Amino acid sequence: MRKLTLLLTTIFVMGYILPVLSQSGNFSTSLHAKRGGKPYFYNKVENGGTGGFETLTNVSITQLGCVECHDATNADLTPYPTDYSPSCADCHASNFAVTQADCIGCHSREAAVINNPNLSDVHRTAGKTCMFCHKTTDVHGTGTEYNSMFDTGAIAADCSNPDCHPSLPPTHASKDPHGGKLHCTSCHASTNLTCYNCHFESQLVMKKRPVKQVTGFVFLVNRTKDNKVHPATFQSLSYQGNTWVPFGPSIAHTIVKTGARTCADCHQNMGGNIPAIVDYNADGLMKFGTWNPADSTLSTLTGIIPMPSDWQRSLKLDYLTYNGSPSDPIVPSKNWSLIDDVTDGSHMLYATPLTNSQMNALGMDTSWTIVPVELTSFVGNLSGSDVKLDWTTATELNNNGFEIQRKTGKDFVTIGFVKGNGTTTSSHDYTFADKQLQPGSYSYRLKQIDFNGKYEFSKVIDVQIVHGLSYALEQNYPNPFNPETAIKYTIPQAGRVTIQVYDVTGKEVVTLVNNEMQAGSYETQWFGRDNRGYSVSTGVYILKMASGSFTSARKIMYLK
């Protein structure tokens, strides 16, 4: 009996414990340890990212509580210390066990799907958990440091793995004529999920506030990892009236075995009635989300949404802002109002939109993808009390000209018109001056109009006119503070501005501002966190501002 026990113990140690311990040696370079995915997604290019939300917000990710995000307790249900670092205890209890709760305690999007009683999954129904598909290398890493879980090699889990679905039933070929060009989930994932319109002002005080969770849709893109058509989702955001939306491949765990999509669910030209395609074919625009101000509700497209090749022009969604306090409790609310449906910034990661050939195959009218004017730049510069607007086109097709519009209140008003160059493949420069303006902040956009009356809006740019300003760093308010304090500052001319916090020994704690800025008055916030995102200790800190030859310092106090 002792020999049998020893044999079984040896098998367990050699077959499971040692391989896991060997893989855990890679943990220091794993995605779970490095937490690099969010900064790579969020940061500006110059800060090591992909040109994400930070481009719009100019707020460091270290101020958002994202990188060090963790559940309330570790796997042994022990509360985390303030100075948190990723470790084995995040997932492994002292008895070495890992549960589904340990996974979804951190992966909130998957938790939203799993905890939604209306969203089923054939694997979950069969009793499968996250660990059934995601083996230890997905968690412990492979020894290679990746930017994101979407990098080739970062995640091994896939439908066609040998212990999942290495082969398809004989009847599958008759149902799938695509010759392997579609990922399984394009047909078998019933829906994706997004938290529509993150209110970034709330995120700054550690409140995750979207308008609502939205399901019932699946965007289709070409995944760069394998160049297969694959589901995608997005995360829209608004901050101080500006808007941003990124897209990327995603599998909401809502897989069906029966009831997968058929030809008519995706192909308008094969008897389908796909709302997204109907919308696009009507006017070359596809509006995913529409705000209904009469009853403060949001309606969205349903079914498959083929990502058009001209998505940055044609894909529209209403952006909203929360009317209450960012510190309000997170509860369902109708206290939202419309900003507009103009996207100020966007990007698509690890995926590309569908090609015109793919769009044609689905029954989409690709004549809309001919962009009349390719605008390569649009900037505004201050000249005394005048604003000089300059823009450049690379090519023009059927271009009648440009209306110049300035925002007055909540609406844009036309203040001028500049004639276009019709059809040309040469670059052309345009200019317009808005003269004798009073001090204040001004927003402008272009309305490019074809000879046939069709039109497109440019991005919105802002110019601030200030007189009599001087360099200044004001005392923060409140002071002492907890959990946040506001810091106001002014610069009389354009230039790089840095605002940093130091401890009393002179060691840098956090950089709050490091940007090229126009002359004007500004405000930033500090939430009592360092460059790694950890909460700082109670005490006195030194706030320093530098711009050109100007420097200034203030003492501030943080209280826990």
Residue 371 CB burial class (10 angstroms; 0-12, 13-18, ≥19): middle
Whether residue 176 is predicted with pLDDT greater than 80 in this model: the reply is no
Token pair 């916090």: residue: 501
The distance between the two most distant Cα atoms of the chain, rounded to a whole number of Å, is 97
Token pair 């660990």: residue: 131
pLDDT computed for residue 15 by the predictor: 46
Identify any residues that bridge with 195 across adjacent strands, giving them in sequence order: 213
Query: What percentage of the chain exceeds 90 in pLDDT?
Result: 50
Whether residue 456 is predicted with pLDDT greater than 50 in this model: the reply is yes
pLDDT computed for residue 10 by the predictor: 47
pTM over 0.85: no
Whether residue 14 is predicted with pLDDT greater than 50 in this model: the reply is no
Q: Do domains 371-465 and 472-558 have the same CATH topology?
A: yes
Question: Between residues 453 and 263, which one has the greater pLDDT?
Answer: 263
Question: Between residues 64 and 22, which one has the greater pLDDT?
Answer: 64
What is the per-residue DSSP string for 317-356? Answer: E-EEEE-S-TTS-------EEEEES--SEEEE-SEEPPPH
Question: Between residues 59 and 18, which one has the greater pLDDT?
Answer: 59
User: Which two tokens mark 375?
Assistant: 């605008």
Pair 347, 50: CB distance under 8 Å: yes
Q: Residue 175: enclosing H or E segment and its boundaries?
A: helix 172-175
Mean pLDDT along residues 346-363:
94
Sorted by sequence, the CB contacts under 8 Å of residue 230 that are 6+ apart come out as 183, 185, 186, 220, 221, 222, 223, 249, 351
Weakest mean pLDDT among 23-27, 100-104, 373-377: 23-27
Token pair 């849709």: residue: 217
Sorted by sequence, the CB contacts under 8 Å of residue 45 that are 6+ apart come out as 51
Sorted by sequence, the CB contacts under 8 Å of residue 51 that are 6+ apart come out as 44, 45, 347
Residue 426 CB burial class (10 angstroms; 0-12, 13-18, ≥19): exposed
* Dihedral of the alpha carbons of 184, 187, 191, 192, in degrees to the nearest 10: 40
Q: How far apart are CA 541 and CA 534, in angstroms?
A: 15
Domain range list for the chain? 21-166, 168-369, 371-465, 472-558
Mean pLDDT along residues 73-87:
80
User: Which two tokens mark 279?
Assistant: 């919308």
User: Which two tokens mark 330?
Assistant: 């997170």
User: Which two tokens mark 406?
Assistant: 């300035």
371 confidence band (pLDDT: 50, 70, 90): low
Q: How far apart are CA 305 and CA 231, in angstroms?
A: 9
**Nearest to residue 366, comparing CAs of 431, 425, 281?**
281
Q: Which CATH number fits domain 371-465: 3.40.50.12780, 3.30.450.70, 2.60.40.10, 2.30.30.140?
A: 2.60.40.10
Pair 233, 207: CB distance under 8 Å: no
Q: How far apart are CA 31 and CA 484, in angstroms?
A: 30
Question: Between residues 469 and 504, which one has the greater pLDDT?
Answer: 504
Mean pLDDT along residues 160-183:
80
Which residue type occupies 303?
Answer: G
pLDDT computed for residue 546 by the predictor: 94
Pair 449, 402: CB distance under 8 Å: yes
1 confidence band (pLDDT: 50, 70, 90): low
Pair 113, 254: CB distance under 8 Å: yes
pLDDT computed for residue 24 by the predictor: 59
Mean pLDDT of the chain: 88
Mean pLDDT along residues 516-540:
88
Which residue type occupies 513?
Answer: V
Q: How far apart are CA 329 and CA 164, in angstroms?
A: 43
pLDDT in tens, 216-232: 999 999 999 999 999 99
- 405 to each of 414, 416, 417, 448, 455, how far by Cα in Å? 4, 7, 9, 11, 13
pLDDT in tens, 289-338: 999 999 999 999 999 999 999 898 899 999 999 999 999 999 999 999 99
Q: 499-505: which pairs have CB atoms within 8 A and are 24 or more residues apart?
A: 499/473, 499/524, 499/543, 499/544, 499/545, 500/543, 500/544, 501/526, 501/541, 501/542, 501/543, 501/544, 501/556, 502/541, 502/542, 502/544, 503/539, 503/541, 503/542, 504/539, 504/540, 504/541, 504/542
For residue 218, what is the DSSP state?
Answer: E
| CA 175 to the chain's CA centroid | 35
Most confident of 9-18, 209-218, 490-499, 516-525: 209-218
457 phi, psi to nearest 5 deg:
-95, 145
pLDDT computed for residue 292 by the predictor: 96
Whether residue 175 is predicted with pLDDT greater than 80 in this model: the reply is no
498 confidence band (pLDDT: 50, 70, 90): very high
Q: Residue 229: enclosing H or E segment and its boundaries?
A: strand 228-234
User: Which two tokens mark 512?
Assistant: 């709050």
Q: How far apart are CA 473 and CA 377, in angstroms?
A: 33
Which residue type occupies 346?
Answer: S
Which CATH architecture is the domain 472-558 placed in? Sandwich (2.60)
For residue 211, what is the DSSP state?
Answer: S
Q: How far apart are CA 218 and CA 116, in angstroms?
A: 17
pLDDT computed for residue 11 by the predictor: 44
pLDDT computed for residue 493 by the predictor: 77
Whether residue 505 is predicted with pLDDT greater than 70 in this model: the reply is yes
Q: Residue 414: enclosing H or E segment and its boundaries?
A: strand 411-424
Whether residue 452 is predicted with pLDDT greater than 80 in this model: the reply is no
